[in-house]
Amino acid sequence: MASRSLTRAAVAGLAAVALLGSAACGSGFDDDSSDTAQSSGPANLQILIGSSGDAETKAVQDAAAKWATSSGNQATVTPAQDLTQQLGQALAGGSPPDVFYVDAARFADYASVGALEPYGDKIADSADFYQSLRTAFSYDGKLYCAPKDFSTLALQINTDLWAEAGLTDADIPTTWDQLTATAKKIKAKGRVPLALGDTRDRIGAFLVQNGGWLLSDDGKQPTADTPENLAALTYVRSLLTDGLARYPKQLDAGWSGEAFGKGKAVMTIEGNWIKGAMQNDFPTVKYKVVALPAGPEGNGTLSFTQCWGIAAKSKYKEQAIRFVEAMTAGDQQMTFAKAFGVMPSRQSVREQYTAAFPADKPFIDGAEHAQGPVNAPKLDSVLSDFDTALQGLANGDPKTILGTFDKNARAALGGS
């Protein structure tokens, strides 16, 4: 999952241009796509996934084979080399797979041009999906697709370095003020307190903790240039300028988890994907996971999620819906969680999950106050520019950064 968030920006533009460009030329999607002739016989579902590795690929293939055997259909699961690019090209070309992973950060681009079948509420007990995940995959008031699983951000603490700095559990920060105080104690011992990712996918959590965000709830209006966001970004800037936080590149690391694993920072803010990275790359490092410190307006984190998209042009929509229903059943989600570390998207298996993975409780607890990715089409370049500005935050002006985002986002949304 970490790799998805790290590589997404690099490939998003090409696929979005291919998809949206073809739609604009009249060869893409329109309302008639829902009239695609449907087959009521046995389906041969083509399923494209963006796999995190062999464990995920095998788990999904096994689950698909089980469904196919019990339902009398066929289901072929193909792991994409580059999901965003391959899916964008397939959708634009008019011959998409029947079912596919859709990242929340790409969802609005696909939904806005009619590429997705809005089937979400046809899934049994769809209200059981966490509300924050339902929101992430809703467009124009419709739940388009069933959330597959999700991740949230939490605070990781290197327990050995924590103890070396003379800190105890009483120093675990639960507010911004406490984060500052604890970070100062760590800095005084000659250590970097916090490794912090330098994009909205990490810094955005501070906006949420102060009651802010980048877009309105309906995704129609930019809302970056507000007092709440200004105060949050100013706080993050103070952490950077006071040496209480460092970006990964300042620590000679590719991402915060690497800096944390190498002991270059005592704390970091990452998602539950860090567990696999620590086990694989830094198995001797001892650490604990706690909730992110609350801001002035309360708790807040970010969620990262994907859904099971169904192509509007699929001729096997009903069979595809039954397939997704099987993949998102509670017991199947727990099987996936045990196989490759994801968190189930259904609230009804929350207690099962925390019983199986007690150390991950802070991550799943974050679902209650999690903000999903920006959910609006045509904002790739605007978001990329915003991330670039955040990378220069220590020497930048938060007010200007937020105002520029609103100006650019307004222009992009106005043209949608």
pLDDT confidence of residue 21: 44
Q: Report the distance separating Cα 349 and Cα 368, nearest Å.
A: 15
The neighbour count for residue 58, using CB atoms within 10 Å, is: 15
**SS3 category, 90:** helix
**pLDDT of 40:** 75
Q: Cβ(66)–Cβ(44) under 8 Å?
A: no
Domain boundaries, the chain: 2-151+304-371, 152-302+377-414
Altogether, the residues listed in the chain come to a count of 416
Q: Kindly report whether the global pTM for this prediction surpasses the value 0.85.
A: yes
pLDDT at 217: 87
Q: Note the helical H segments in 344-397.
A: 350-356, 361-365, 380-391
Domain 2-151+304-371 coded CATH 2.40.50.1070: no
- Same fold yes or no, 2-151+304-371 and 152-302+377-414: yes
Q: What is the DSSP string of 215-274?
A: B-TTSSSB--SSHHHHHHHHHHHHHHHTTSEE-GGGGT-SSHHHHHHTTS-SEEEEETTH
CATH code at 152-302+377-414: 3.40.190.10
Q: What is the mean pLDDT of each run of 10 residues along the chain (416 residues)?
A: 38 43 41 63 93 93 98 97 94 94 94 96 96 93 96 97 98 98 98 98 98 93 98 98 98 97 98 90 97 98 97 96 98 95 96 96 95 92 97 98 98 78
- What integer pLDDT is reported at residue 276 of this predicted model? 86
